[in-house]
Amino acid sequence: AATDTYRPAAHPKDGYEERRLKAVLLRILIELNTPEVHGLAEDHFRRAWHVSDRMSALVAINLSEHPLRAAIMERAYHMWKGHLSAYAGYLGVVGATPHEDVFDRLALEEHRPTFRLQHPTHSRALFGSMAGNNKMLWTDRGIEWMTATVIRLALINENTANHLVAAFQQVHKLADDLRPKVLRALRAMKDGIDADKSPSIAGRIRSYLRT
């Protein structure tokens, strides 16, 4: 029977190809968003003994409209919060959420006692996955989130802030309706960051505005 503990494989390559195939098939099937596929993904999450199998099931569930998505995500948090790599994987799933509740989920995770903003793995996993979340980042709320987060992280975790703002480096190649919003966001970041205290991120933002 499956347990709620973190169990790495006996050897990193044990069953790798089979697990990868299962993950790909599940990602394809989950797009159907039927109760049957939801049940299949949930069953895979509950029964899998290897953390990567469960993680791939969680990714699929989080992409879907599964009615118990939030509850399953919560269960995953409690399973993996005590293990750095599994917890980082979980945080990455949260940040990649393609639903409107992603911003609420980000705030929830950031305020949990297990999350440390200064921790490079924690912040990169949670915020970095959101920076690559194309469905939600390029919304008005996503651009606002990026602006506020980069300004806030500049003095706390400049490396992560640099990683995040890199999502805006092609600002001048964006669509006409999106470019002005991102330019305004970059200017707001420039005005909100002390260039003397955070020279790297400030310089990067200036270079994006000049390009």
pLDDT by 10s per residue, the chain, length 211:
344 544 444 444 557 677 777 777 888 888 888 999 999 999 999 998 888 899 999 999 999 999 999 999 999 999 999 999 999 999 999 999 999 999 999 999 999 999 999 999 999 999 999 999 999 999 999 999 999 999 999 999 999 999 999 999 999 999 999 999 999 999 999 999 999 999 999 999 999 999 6
At a CB cut-off of 8 Å and minimum separation 6, what does 15 contact? 9, 50
Percent of the chain whose predicted confidence (pLDDT) is above 70: 92
pLDDT reported for residue 170: 95
pLDDT reported for residue 13: 53
Looking at residue 118, the DSSP 8-state letter turns out to be T
pLDDT reported for residue 2: 40
pLDDT reported for residue 29: 87
Residue 97 phi, psi (nearest 5): -60, 125
pLDDT reported for residue 20: 75
Residue 5 is encoded by which pair of tokens? 């503990």
Closest among 209, 163, 204 to 185, alpha carbons compared: 209
| Radius of gyration, CA atoms only, the chain | 19
pLDDT reported for residue 57: 95
Say if CB 36 and CB 1 are below 8 A apart: no
Instruction: Note if the pTM is more than 0.85.
Output: yes
Looking at residue 34, the DSSP 8-state letter turns out to be -
CA angle 50, 38, 2 (to 5 degrees): 25
Burial readout 101-121 (b: 16 or more C-beta within 10 A, e: otherwise): ebbebbebbbeeeebeeeeee
Say if CB 130 and CB 106 are below 8 A apart: yes
pLDDT reported for residue 113: 97
Q: H helices of the chain, where?
A: 16-29, 35-47, 51-63, 69-80, 84-95, 102-110, 120-131, 134-137, 140-153, 158-165, 179-192, 199-210
